[in-house]
Amino acid sequence: MTELIRDVDSLRAKLALARERGRRVGVVPTMGALHRGHLALLEEARKRAQVVVVTVFVNPTQFGPNEDFSKYPRTLEKDLEACRAAGADYVFSPEATTEIYPPGDETRVRVPETGKHLEGAFRPHHFEGVATVCLKLFQIVGPAVAVFGRKDYQQLQLITRMVRDLFLPIEIVGHPTIREEDGLALSSRNAYLSPEERARARAIPAGLGAAVRAYDAGERRVSSLIAAAREPIAAAATSIDYVAIADPATVAPYPDDAVIDRAVLAVAVRVGTTRLIDNVVLGEGATV
């Protein structure tokens, strides 16, 4: 039976008791509006731990002043139903102003260079908020295995680096992106898309797939791989923030004249007013 917990002390007490009984803890950090992608993370956590916590917290510090914090979908009752069906032990859904950011809270995590490229360049304070809330959640949960989706590839690299640098007793696991039948990556923000925009969004995986095919055919020039990805995306997107090929560890973009081996191809585009991100790692035998 899945139990909803709203306060830090109660969750800590439950997990301390589980550890006393020799049970490993798994945690899946989310902002709610759960879909099949999130549930795949939960299933992965269940394979690696005996007690699984799903956090449902729309984190205010990772949203910029003109972003979608106020309208981000909040569907706690449906999320609870999904977690019960998938076998989560606890859903931790704290109040922001009393539990996670109480009055007087000022400490924030300074992000490394990994957080200053791509998303960091377009959302300057985003990763500071992500790193800070993840560190808080890890401190609340304690030693655990944490499962993140690779759709948020840069976030995964940033959190992995933070855990290593700060010697946190957390094992970070990256789970492959879960996609719809037409290739679009599952995202809570897909709910914002109209039917016409949803059809146009198919250009995102189409562009990634075009670059993968070019890479598999032997193309290694960054400029040519970006051009292959960008052509279908540009034809359908309202605007493009970036189509970039970057170092898979640091997420630093390679120059257009570089020749690469293994690399991450990452995109951020708007379809209508909805901003969507996606990626694929070239050199891993990826398919889109």
Q: Give residue limits of the domains in the chain.
A: 3-175, 188-281
CB 230 within 8 A of CB 265: no
Of 38, 117, 126, 175, which residue is the catalytic one?
38
Q: Which residue has the higher pLDDT, 66 or 210?
A: 210
Residues 95-114: what's their mean pLDDT? 95
Neighbours of 120 (CB within 10 A): 19
Please name the fold of domain 3-175.
Answer: Rossmann fold (3.40.50)
| Cα 184 to Cα 195: distance, rounded to the nearest angstrom | 14
Residue 36 CA to residue 141 CA, distance in Å, equals 24
pLDDT above 90 (res 66): no
Average pLDDT of the chain to the nearest whole number: 97
Percentage of the chain exceeding pLDDT 70: 100
Q: What is the pLDDT, as a whole number, of residue 286? A: 78
pLDDT of residue 189: 96
Q: Is the pLDDT of residue 222 over 90?
A: yes
Instruction: Give the mean model confidence (pLDDT) for residues 150-173.
Output: 98
Q: How much is the average pLDDT of 166-195? A: 97
Catalytic, 126? Answer no
- At residue 83, the pLDDT reads 98
- Tell me what pLDDT residue 285 has: 83
Average pLDDT (221-227) is 98
Given a cut of 90, whether residue 264 has pLDDT beyond it is yes
Residue 68's pLDDT band, with cuts at 50, 70 and 90, is very high
What digits encode the pLDDT tens for the residues 16-59?
A: 999 999 999 999 999 999 999 999 999 999 999 999 999 999 99
Domain made up of 188-281: CATH architecture: 2-Layer Sandwich (3.30)
